[in-house]
């Protein structure tokens, strides 16, 4: 089943028609993922998808039997009939469909430059729509609000995550020599028990010696977790392809003045952000407000305040700063909070020598209400 609704698919077609794009081409492979393949076709991975401006979908998958099971398209083309070569297959599909190769193809920004070079060489008449950024933007816009079905899946992913918080509490209460890896394993195991298909991403477990890193590398280690100071765990569930994302700030033992201070600022700015969110409010303004609070206190936030949740963990909308260059600004459309959006709010402060802390919950806007659908809060031991 393809996740995109008919209404949204029609908006996409209108975009293609208005911009004289004959066909939209999406590719998704191991080294160059693009979730829009799944969003538009239902096929999970390893394929080219062509969507014509009059609404026909043609899939060229690596695994034809998987496509038979998952894809909701008009045609599935077997590339083994074209020497196992995706480009020769695309060439034939175009020739057959349009009787000429001088059509305009719209590509997503994430398509590897090598694919473009390959097509320019093998199908020299092909024209490329000159603003792939607009293709990216329209797909981001469509995916930023979720269908009823998607909101159900995301609610379930959030519930699995929330349920796991009590296991994290229990682990911390009884923690002595257990490692970050032990906690990471526990979270994976419990989420599977609660119905998750997978973790949403490799769980980040940071004791007080590593919590100042933006993204922990490695995600978890064999160091003891319950060291005195600021710790955190950032995790989420993948439920049937939909994701939750939660960060629980934790502390062990007595904290220093500065540790107390950054905790207070983070927890306060979280409340400020949640309070600000409403339908019609500009997303970048909420990021900006939190950034100003942090700045005033002498700190900075190197990442964005939040991000959408959906078929990817980092979905649209993006709740971050305004673009900072002319090209991006030219193509930028101010984004507001809308019915159907599901996203994280996750203010944080990190400082080497002091530690890091972050509170992250998932928010859903449904029936006009702003609902916090996960239940992370600061835990002190």
Residues that bind a copy of itself (CB under 8 A): 30-34, 44-46, 62-63, 65-66, 70, 80, 83-85, 87-88, 107-118, 121-122, 131-133, 136, 181, 185, 189, 192, 197-198, 202, 212-215, 217-218, 300, 302, 314, 321, 324-328, 352
Burial of 18 (0-12, 13-18, 19+ CB in 10 A): exposed
Q: Minimum distance from CB of 356 to a copy of itself (Å)? A: 10
Please state at what angle helix 113-122 crosses helix 86-98, rounded to 10 degrees: 60
Q: Which is nearer to a copy of itself, 212 or 358 (CB)?
A: 212
Burial of 347 (0-12, 13-18, 19+ CB in 10 A): buried
Q: Which is nearer to a copy of itself, 136 or 365 (CB)?
A: 136
Q: Which is nearer to a copy of itself, 186 or 342 (CB)?
A: 186
Q: Minimum distance from CB of 105 to a copy of itself (Å)? A: 11
Non-local (6+) Cβ contacts of 170 within 8 A are none
Q: Which is nearer to a copy of itself, 133 or 372 (CB)?
A: 133
Q: Which is nearer to a copy of itself, 160 or 365 (CB)?
A: 160
Q: Minimum distance from CB of 329 to a copy of itself (Å)? A: 11
Measure the CA–CA gap between 294 and 297, rounded to whole angstroms: 5
Q: Minimum distance from CB of 318 to a copy of itself (Å)? A: 13
Q: Minimum distance from CB of 144 to a copy of itself (Å)? A: 16
Q: Which is nearer to a copy of itself, 46 or 268 (CB)?
A: 46
Q: Minimum distance from CB of 119 to a copy of itself (Å)? A: 9
Q: In what order do the strands lie in the sheet with 237-239?
A: 198-199, 237-239, 242-243
The dihedral through the CA atoms of 98, 102, 104, 110 has a sign that is positive
- 219 touches 184 (CB < 8 A): yes
Measure the CA–CA gap between 297 and 171, rounded to whole angstroms: 33
- Say how many C-beta atoms besides its own lie within 10 A of residue 62's C-beta: 18
């Amino acid at each position: 089943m393809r996740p995109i609704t008919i209404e949204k698919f029609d908006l996409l077609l209108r975009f293609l028609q208005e911009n004289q794009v004959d066909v939209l081409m999406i590719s998704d492979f191991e080294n160059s993922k693009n979730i829009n393949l799944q969003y538009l076709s239902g096929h999970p991975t390893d394929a080219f998808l062509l969507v014509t401006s009059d609404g026909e979908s043609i899939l060229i998958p690596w695994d034809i039997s998987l496509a038979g099971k998952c894809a909701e398209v008009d045609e599935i083309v077997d590339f083994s009939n074209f020497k196992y070569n995706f480009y020769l297959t695309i060439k034939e599909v175009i020739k057959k469909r349009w009787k000429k190769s001088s059509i305009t193809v719209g590509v997503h920004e994430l398509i590897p430059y090598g694919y473009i070079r390959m097509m320019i060489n093998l199908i020299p008449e092909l024209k490329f729509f000159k603003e792939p950024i607009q293709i990216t933007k329209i797909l981001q816009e469509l995916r930023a609000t979720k269908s009823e079905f998607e909101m159900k899946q995301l609610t379930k992913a959030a519930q699995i995550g929330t349920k796991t918080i009590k296991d994290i509490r229990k682990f911390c209460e009884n923690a002595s020599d257990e490692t970050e890896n032990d906690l990471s394993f526990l979270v994976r195991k419990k989420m599977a028990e609660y119905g998750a298909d997978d973790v949403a991403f490799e769980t980040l477990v940071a004791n007080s010696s590593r919590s100042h890193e933006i993204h922990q590398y490695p995600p978890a280690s064999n160091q003891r977790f319950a060291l005195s100071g600021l710790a955190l765990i950032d995790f989420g569930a993948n439920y049937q392809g939909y994701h939750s994302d939660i960060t629980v700030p934790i502390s062990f033992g007595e904290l220093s003045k500065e540790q107390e201070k950054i905790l207070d600022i983070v927890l306060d700015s979280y409340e400020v952000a949640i309070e600000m969110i409403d339908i019609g409010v500009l997303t970048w303004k909420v990021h900006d407000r939190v950034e100003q609070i942090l700045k005033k206190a002498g700190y900075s936030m190197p990442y964005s305040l939040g991000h959408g949740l959906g078929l990817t963990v980092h979905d649209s909308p993006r709740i971050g700063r305004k673009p900072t260059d002319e090209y991006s600004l030219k193509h930028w459309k101010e984004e507001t909070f809308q019915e159907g959006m599901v996203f994280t709010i996750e203010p944080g402060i990190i400082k080497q020598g002091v530690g890091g802390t972050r509170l992250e919950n998932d928010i859903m806007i449904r029936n006009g209400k702003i609902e916090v659908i996960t239940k992370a809060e600061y835990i002190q031991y």
